[in-house]
Amino acid sequence: MGNRKQLVEDVVHGIFLILGIITVGFVLLISVYLLIAGVPAIGKIGVIDFLFGTTWAPTGEVPSYGILPFILTSIYGTAGAILLGVPVGFFTSVYLAKIAPTKVKAMVENAVSLLAGIPSVVYGLVGMLVLVPLVRNAFHLPDGASLFAAIIVLAVMVLPSIIKVSLTALEAVPKDYEDASLALGATPVETYFKVSVPAAKSGIAAAVVLGVGRAIGEAMAVIMVSGNVANMPGLFESVRFLTTAVCSEMSYAVDGSLHQQALFSVALVLFLFVMLINAALNFFLKREKK
Amino acid sequence: MNSNANGKRRAYIGAMKALMYLCTGITVALVVFLIAYVLIKGLPNITWELLSTKPSYLSGTIGILPDILNTLYLVVVTLLVVLPLGVGAAVYLTEYASNAKIVAVIEYAAETLSGIPSIVYGLVGMLVFCQFLDFKTSILAGALTLAIMNLPTIMRTTQESLKTVPQSYREGAFGLGAGKWRMIRTVVLPNCVDGVITGCILAVGRIVGESAALLFTAGFAHALNGFLTGVMSPGASLTVALYVYAKEQGEFEVAFAIAAILMILTLCINGAASLVGTYFKKRRSE
Amino acid sequence: MKKRKLILPLLATVALSAAVLAGCSGGAAEETVEGTVTTDGSTSMEKVIGGLGEAFEEENPGVTFTYNPTGSGSGITAVTEGRCDIGLSSRDLKDEELAQGLTETVLAKDGIAIVVNPENKVEDLTVEQIADIFTGKITNWKEVGGDDAEIVLIGREAGSGTRDGFESITGTEEACQYRQELTSTGDVITTVAGNPAAIGYASLASVQDSVKAVTVGGVAPTEETIADGSYAVQRPFILVTKEGEQLSDAAQAFFDYATSEAANEIITSAGVVPAAN
């Protein structure tokens, strides 16, 4: 009887182990498949031509596969979104963590959760019908679909992540720090910004990382407001991101063609970008902790 | 003597306060505007006809019943796949794993999964599920892709609630002679139900709102199917349908109606998540 | 939309005739087919194929008809690889594609309307003017009789049959300076409708009141001018099949139905000119 019990125990242990390993398996699966699908085209096109070429014209008479426009657009777009979103999110989270009355805080927190839950196509729809004409009229442009419009949309989309994570970090600052600062004569506001915030630095940095990840990976909302032409990025130019490049051409790239393989390579570059950013920022965070 | 310093300080405090109120105001204004705009433009367009028919070219009408059903099927199949995997992996990590290295690797893998852009998931999903496993463009392929995407969420919430089970409960069970599995089954799992439910609700929210990962895996079709045929055929979810109606057909009334429905669903899901949260918090403190 | 009034009587006629034929043939009744028919390709053909598919399904309840709007290029690929029964293309097949063993059957002729915003004063453009506009030689509406405003060029993505047709007829292949490259005909219409300075091209079948189609060299795009070729900017709607390969019963039945005269009313109501005249 003891043996049977042990057997059941072992089997169950095995099952759970397998389930755990499957998670690792999925990551390997994704990485391996992307590599298999994405590397051949880079090989055929040449790493330098691919990553640094400035013309993307896969269906032209002389096809060219330079993705520098996409890389730069994704970088500028993400940077812009962070530049706009982080300050707004940061100040909102300090307000929520330290000053807001309980009822207000609960209400705003709910509002932020809601913002986080809205599907990206809805953002895209509103962006397309409200933001794009607004940009066109406000800046006297011939057409509002641009990098600028995309940056605004992305900034709004990363706001909830930044607020939520910064909030958690700020709330975790030990009260003693703040009490000590107040005892030394600092006003509450000064305490928050000169003591609490630095103490919550790593959490806030984590919030920014999250925001970067969300911004660089967004496709649907952006494709509806950015114009979709493979130009080198300009603030009011029609642009294409790494994400939207894959999205818009995948459905008609001829199966097995260099065009399709190049799209896989774009996805691979995107994937590597995200990994790189995560690794770099995590590295800096760990250094900070020490 | 101190007046300059005081002046500067006061200016600083004033500026910081102004910024805080301004930014919070901006955030709240954005949320209010989005919700109001979508609901105002969308609710009037939600008709019974829209909700209960499929699109017809011959009569020139649009109905989103197929899309609603597709979304439902998607949620069901995704949850069926991701719950066992996610809960199982979480249980393994908290209850069984003794090797710190394995734990670290699995947790790193989960963290990596949650950072990958959804369009990349869509692409890999297309390669693996539609082509390699030959499920073709189908709800099933879409659901499997979404399952991988939501694995980290389920794992995390299950783990969090597993960790709140006091060690004394476990030791008590061992003390009474229970084996590990029995202990887990009778003591730990019932207590982590709230984490699993929260994780489910969050996952449903993500599934309902996902679009990029479904474009190439589940397709665009609007055919009205029963569950079993529906799962094996291509089908547009509500979000994909919104995209197509807005961007490719210019049917903005329908698009706003779908957006309003999605908005209401998001509100409900958020509400459910916080209700569950408070319910279990109360229970735990009893 | 304006032809809606014809649909109900049409359907009634079709249903009635089917019933009559079934009754008349006595024992050898008109057998309905069962199975699936999968089509894939041009987004411009959506209304036509959608309408035909729906009518076909109503006559043959055992049939599931699917249409995947992925663009002409993708549809041709899909049928070559056997991923669908019938490919849909809104441009002629290229030599390389024909060489892969594909057969093209012209279903209808579609005009490509050159659309501008209804607020635009311009009513007529010659083919040369259109070419110059899209290649960037003419950049302001005032140069062709409109207001003083920079022209915004809206086009389709590189694999689009509509773009292919437009560019080959105007001779602007690879020279167009698009401001936006959109993935469907409907999107072009929406975008042009939303921008007073925009110009684009779209399948005539999809043109709605939200945009204005200019006359090309004085010729307005109508059924007659497309049928007799006087409206220059037109292209064929093609059913693509694999040479020598037998279609399934259901797919063959659909093919025959679509290319028969019985389908002409549906094709016309979708705004294109049937080939089977």
User: Best mutation site among B138, B220, B249 for testing chain C: the one with the most C CBs within 10 Å?
Assistant: B249
User: With 90 as the cut, is the pLDDT of residue A53 above it?
Assistant: no
Per-residue pLDDT tens digits for C27-41? 334 567 888 888 888
Q: Which two tokens stand for residue B4?
A: 């300059």
Question: In Å, how far is A57's CA from the nearest CA of chain C?
Answer: 9
Burial call A102-125: b when 16+ CB within 10 Å, e when fewer = eeebeebbebbbbbbbbbbbbbbb
- Long-range contacts (CB closer than 8 Å, 24 or more residues apart) made by A25-33: A26/B109, A26/B113, A26/B148, A26/B151, A27/B109, A27/B112, A27/B113, A29/B124, A29/B128, A30/A271, A30/B113, A30/B116, A30/B120, A30/B121, A30/B124, A30/B148, A31/A271, A33/B124, A33/B127, A33/B128
- Pick from B267, B231, B202: which is nearest to B129 by CA? B231
pLDDT at C75: 85
C252 torsion bin: left (phi>0), alpha (psi -120 to 50), beta (else): alpha
* Count of beta carbons in the 10 Å neighbourhood of residue B268: 13
- Judge: C186–B247 Cβ closer than 8 Å, yes or no: yes
For residue B32, how many other CB atoms are within 10 A of its CB? 12
User: What tokens appear for B155 in the block?
Assistant: 């794992």
Confidence band, pLDDT 50/70/90 cuts, at residue B36: very high
* Residue of higher predicted confidence among C208 and B243: B243
Q: What is the pLDDT of residues C129-184, one digit of tens each?
A: 999 999 999 999 999 888 888 999 999 887 788 888 899 888 888 888 888 888 78
Greatest Cα pair distance in chain C = 72
Q: C159 vs chain A: nearest CA distance in angstroms? A: 6
Percent of chain C at pLDDT exceeding 70? 88
Picking from C96, C154, C179 by the largest number of A CB atoms within 10 A of its own CB, the best residue to mutate is C179
Nearest alpha carbon to residue B31 among A121, A214, A107: A107
Q: Check: CB of residue C162 under 8 Å from CB of residue C112.
A: yes
Write the CA distances from A219 to B146, B160, C51, integer angstroms. Answer: 16, 31, 32
**% of chain B beyond a pLDDT of 70:** 97
- Is residue C107's pLDDT more than 60? yes
d(CA C250, CA C37): 6
| Cα–Cα separations (whole angstroms), residue C276 to A233, B198, C6, C107, C261 | 49, 60, 19, 7, 6
Using the Cβ of C69 and the Cβ atoms of chain B, whether some distance falls under 8 Å is answered with yes
Q: Which H or E run contains A179?
A: helix A175-183
pLDDT of residue C29: 43
Mean predicted lDDT score pLDDT of chain A: 87
Give one DSSP letter per residue of C139-158, joined into a string.
Answer: -BGGGGTS-S-B-EEEEE-T
Asked if A35 is an interface residue toward chain B (Cβ–Cβ < 8 A), one would say no
Query: For chain A, how long is the longest CA-to-CA vector?
Result: 83
Q: In 3-state terms, what secondary structure has residue A100?
A: coil
pLDDT (0 to 100) of residue C21: 46
A196 band by pLDDT with thresholds 50, 70 and 90: confident
How confident is residue B3, by pLDDT bands cut at 50, 70 and 90? Answer: low
Quick one: closest CA in B to C269, which residue? B58
Instruction: Verify whether the Cβ–Cβ distance C195 to A136 is below 8 Å.
Output: yes
pLDDT for the residue numbered B1: 47
Name the residue facing B219 among C68, C182, C183 (closest C-beta). Answer: C68
Q: How confident is the model at residue C15 (pLDDT cuts 50, 70, 90)?
A: low
Q: Does B215 touch chain A (CB under 8 A)?
A: yes
The contact set of B with C (CB < 8 A) is 55-60, 136-137, 219-221, 223, 233-234, 244, 247-250
User: Per-residue pLDDT for B71 more than 90?
Assistant: yes
Residue B24: pLDDT over 90: yes
pLDDT of residue A119 exceeding 90, the answer is: yes
Please answer yes or no on whether C51 and B219 come within 8 Å at the CB atom.
Answer: no
d(CA A50, CA C168) in angstroms, rounded, equals 29
Instruction: Tell me whether residues B123 and A99 touch, CB distance under 8 A.
Output: no
Residues C36-94: pLDDT tens digits?
888 888 888 888 998 999 899 888 888 888 888 777 887 888 888 887 889 999 888 88
Is the Cβ pair B263, A217 closer than 8 Å? no
Q: What is the pLDDT of residue B121?
A: 92
Give the pLDDT band of residue C1 (cuts 50, 70, 90): very low
Model pLDDT, residue C277: 54
| pLDDT reported for residue B39 | 94
- Helix C161-170, helix C72-80: angle, nearest 10: 120
Reported ipTM exceeds the 0.85 cut: yes
Å from A191 to nearest chain B CA? 10
Which of A171, A145, A100 has the alpha carbon at shortest distance from B27?
A: A100
**Beta carbons within 8 Å of B177's beta carbon, 6+ residues apart:** none
Return the residue of A nearest to C177 by Cα.
A229
Q: Which of B17, B20, B111 to mutate to test the interface with A (most CBs of A within 10 A)?
A: B20
Q: Determine the Cα–Cα distance for residues B262 and B39; give it in Å rounded to an integer.
A: 10
Helix (H) or strand (E) holding A135: helix A132-138
pTM for this entry = 0.85
Task: Answer whether C177's CB lies under 8 Å from A238's CB.
Answer: no
Q: How many CB pairs under 8 A join A and C?
A: 68
**SS3 at position C88:** strand
Which of C4, C66, C195 is most worth mutating to test chain B (most B CB atoms within 10 A of its CB)?
C66
Most confident of B7-11, B43-47, C160-164: B43-47
The residue of chain A with its CA nearest to that of B259 is A122
CB–CB contact B263 A118 (8 Å): yes
Share of chain A above pLDDT 70, in %: 96
Name the residue among B58, B219, B249 with its Cβ closest to that of C7.
B58
A72-92 as b/e: b if 16+ CB within 10 A: bbbebbbebbbebbbebbbbb
List the single residue in C81, C174, C179 with the smallest CB-CB distance to A238.
C179
